[in-house]
Amino acid sequence: MAFTGKLHDNKAKGTYTCAGCDRPLFPSETKFDSGTGWPSFYEPIEEGAVEEHLDVGIIGVRTEVKCARCGGHLGHVFDDGPPPTGRRYCMNSGAMHFKPA
């Protein structure tokens, strides 16, 4: 549920990794408060860290985000984020771990 995930309010410096395979996904520097209740990032740690797939479902058409290494579902990405990318990677706290710097 929104606003309940363990990583939603995390403001520590470090790296968010895949809960399934420990691949680094997002640096804390790209995390922002989107007001949605989910950990949100404007950019992955590097190109190729995550994969995007069309997700057509009951809610409509969205873009699913998966770990590029293990294929684990991480969340969804939207085109309403802040500069410099304009993207909002809306991630699930249960799908990630956090490694402090």
- Which of 21, 67, 70, 90 is the catalytic position? 90
Query: In the structure encoding, which two tokens stand for residue 54, read together?
Result: 């069309």
CB contact at 8 A, 70 and 18: yes
What predicted TM-score, i.e. pTM, was given to this entire model?
0.94
Name which of 54, 33, 52, 43 is nearest 86 in CA terms: 43
Catalytic residue flag (residue 90)? yes
Tens digits of residue pLDDT in 17-69: 999 999 999 999 999 999 999 999 999 999 999 999 999 888 788 999 999 99
Q: Which domains does the chain have, with CATH numbers?
A: 15-100 (2.170.150.20)
